[in-house]
A and B are shown apart, each in its own frame.
Chain A
Amino acid sequence: MREEKNKEMMIRLFRVSKHYGKKSALIDLTVDVAADDFVFVTGPSGAGKSTMIKLLYMGEAISSGSILVDGVNLARVSRKQVPLLRRKFGIIFQDFKLIPTRTVFDNVALVLEVAGVRSREIQTRVMEVLDQVGIADRSGEYPQILSGGEQQRVAVARAIIANPKIIVADEPTGSLDPDSAARIFSLLQTAHAKGAAVIIATHDRELIASHDGRVIRLEDGRIAKSSSEPDMLQ
Chain B
Amino acid sequence: MMPLPVQRAVRDYRNHKYLHGLCALTIALSVFIVSAFSLFYLNATEVLDAWRKGIRIIAYLSAETTDADRKTLTAATAQLEGVAHVAFVSRDAAFAELRLKLGDQTSLLAGLSDNPLPDALEIRLSDDYHNLEDIDKLADRIRSLEYVDDVEYAQKWLHRFKGVYNLFQITGFVLVAVFFMATLMITANTIRLIMYARRQEIEIMRIVGADDVFIKYPLYIQSVVLGFVGAAAGLACLFLAYILTLANVGSSSVVSMFDIRFIPPALVLGIIVCSMIIGWLGCWFSIRKFLRF
Contact = CB atoms under 8 A, between A and B. Distances in A.
Interface of A: 57, 59, 80, 83-84, 86-87, 89, 91, 97-102, 106, 110-111, 113-115, 119, 158
A15 B212 CA distance: 31
B257 interface: no
Contacts of A110: 204-205, 208, 210
Contacts of B200: 99-100
Contacts, number: 53
Contacts of A97: 204, 207
The 4 A-B residue pairs with the shortest CB-CB distance, nearest first, are A86-B209, A87-B209, A83-B211, A101-B15
A110 B202 CA distance: 11
A98 B201 CA distance: 8
B12 interface: yes
23 contacts: A59-B207, A80-B212, A83-B206, A83-B209, A83-B210, A83-B211, A83-B214, A84-B209, A86-B209, A87-B209, A97-B207, A99-B204, A100-B201, A101-B198, A101-B201, A102-B11, A110-B204, A110-B208, A110-B210, A111-B208, A113-B214, A114-B214, A115-B209
Interface residues of B, number: 18
Contacts of A84: 209
Contacts of B214: 83, 113-114
Contacts of A86: 206-209
B167 interface: no
B4 A91 contact: no
A7 B11 CA distance: 48
Contact of B12 (A101, A111, A158): A101
Contacts of B11: 101-102
A102 B209 contact: no
Contacts of B12: 101
A106 B201 CA distance: 12
Contacts of B198: 101
B201 A99 contact: yes
B8 interface: yes
Interface in B224-242: none
B204 A57 contact: no
Most buried by A among B4, B208, B210, B212: B208
A114 B15 contact: no
Contacts of A111: 208-209
A158 B211 contact: no
Contacts of B206: 83, 86
B204 A114 contact: no
Contacts of A91: 207-208
Contacts of A101: 11-12, 15, 198, 201
A100 B199 CA distance: 12
Contacts of A59: 207
Nearest to B210: A114
Interface string B2-18: 00100010011001000
B261 to A, nearest CB: 46
A114 B209 contact: yes
Nearest to B197: A101
B205 A114 contact: yes
A80 B211 contact: yes
A99 B201 CA distance: 5
